[in-house]
Amino acid sequence: MTRRLLLLGSTGSIGTQALDVVERADPDAFAVVGLAAGRSWEAVVAQARQHGVPRIALADADAAARAADAWPEGEVLAGPEGLVRLVVEAGADLVLNALVGAAGLGPTVAALGEGIDLALANKESLVVGGELVMQLAEATGARVLPVDSEHSALWQLVEGESGGAEAPAGGPRLGTIERLVLTASGGPFRGRSRDELADVGIEQALAHPTWAMGGKITIDSATLMNKGLEVIEAHHLFGTPYDRIDVVVHPQSIVHSYVTLCDGAALAHLGLPDMRAPIAFALHHPDRVPLPLEPLDLAAVGQLTFERPDLDAFPCLRLAGEAGEAGGTAPCVLNAANEIAVHAFLAGRIGFLDIPAIVEATLDALGSGPVRAFESLYDADRRAREHAETLVAARV
């Protein structure tokens, strides 16, 4: 049976690869009923024409207006409200949320509130509002299907060890699993000391050794904030305490994650770094579909190495862990301050080491408050952005 797929963030790395998976893996499995992007109106209009999509949304109002002028045969929705309206009105069976940043939270809430299964590549949805988001999924019966390669790996390992557990939604029971271990490539600056990071430039930070990703995510990988956000995400997806989640640096990016078991054994998920594999697993679960991907040849890889992360050189990983442990609005503040700092770095307004400094100063200033509703998160997000922007301005 053909399922109706709504793709948010369709012009980014995950979105374009998801459309490739839809076309290549099983063209009859999905009908794409809607597409959304931030500002890339020309690309999303081209995608809509290619896939026969009648309705799109753009978070940026000016971009939406341009799209409407260029695409009179279709319907264009605008702004955050337009993204949510697209989710609610598209009649989708599955929503893939590949938006970047906290902007993905509203569509995540809308999809789960409607009881629609959610393939989640927007980790900020769980970082910012993880407890409420997972409660909502459990209440409506919607599944949260991880798309990040690390969380897809953990999901498959947990599922295999538990004999076919349901997709994460409130956190499956880990049973015999003792620890979850997320692997990190280490980014372009692995092995450098804190002093050696003082003068690194934008181009250096964007030169990721393994993955091809958007600018914001690539910088997060360079600071190891991305891995810190993934720790918070794993906590919510798998209902696992933070003291049972570890991070290990693995520069080859072949082991995507692994779990340790109560009998001392470990199970790992391996594969060449290609996001189409976890995307396909989320879209087609519980089935696996053939993909035209290069198989893993360990002899050709030669060696796999592992090391502990350097929390002195990369304090963002520590800050994320502390925010996650603090709970409440702290992860929301962490994420908002990081978004402001990363965009300021990409704009050449601050240095690389200013990113963790601004995040830490914002966390120290705002602390953590209770989360009674999603409005608490939106307020914390706004205050954190304002404070972080003030700190950025002071460094210019």
- In the annotated binding site, the residues are 11-14, 38-39, 122-124, 148-150, 185, 208, 214, 221, 226-227, 230
List Cβ neighbours of 134 (8 Å cut-off, separation of 6 or more): 126, 144, 169, 170, 171, 236, 237
Could you give the residue ranges of the DSSP H alpha helices within 239-309?
Answer: 276-284, 298-301
**End-to-end alpha-carbon separation of the chain, Å?**
56
> Which residues sit in the known binding site for Mn(2+)?
148, 150, 230
Judged by DSSP in three states, 241 sits in coil
Tell which residue, 302, 314, 131, has the closest CA to residue 225: 314
> 97: number of CA atoms within 13 Å, CB side?
31
> Which residues sit in the known binding site for 1-deoxy-D-xylulose 5-phosphate?
123, 149-150, 185, 208, 221, 226-227, 230
Tell which residue, 119, 84, 93, 99, has the closest CA to residue 44: 99
Asked whether 319 and 356 are in contact (CB, 8 A), the reply is yes
Beta bridge partners of 247: 182
> Which residues sit in the known binding site for NADPH?
11-14, 38-39, 122, 124, 214
Q: How far is CA 185 from the centre of its chain?
A: 16
Residue 59 main-chain phi, psi, to 5 deg: -65, -30
Residues in the chain: 396
> What is the side-by-side strand order in the sheet with 177-184?
245-249, 177-184, 255-261, 266-270
Residue in the structure block whose two tokens are 């030169």: 207
Q: Which two tokens stand for residue 272?
A: 């060449």
Rounded distance between C-alpha atoms, residue 195 and residue 307, angstroms? 20
Single-letter residue type at 146: P
Single-letter residue type at 383: R
**Rg for the chain, CA atoms, rounded:** 20
Q: Which two tokens stand for residue 354?
A: 């200013």
Asked whether 60 and 38 are in contact (CB, 8 A), the reply is yes
DSSP state letter for 76: E
Rounded distance between C-alpha atoms, residue 319 and residue 96, angstroms? 29
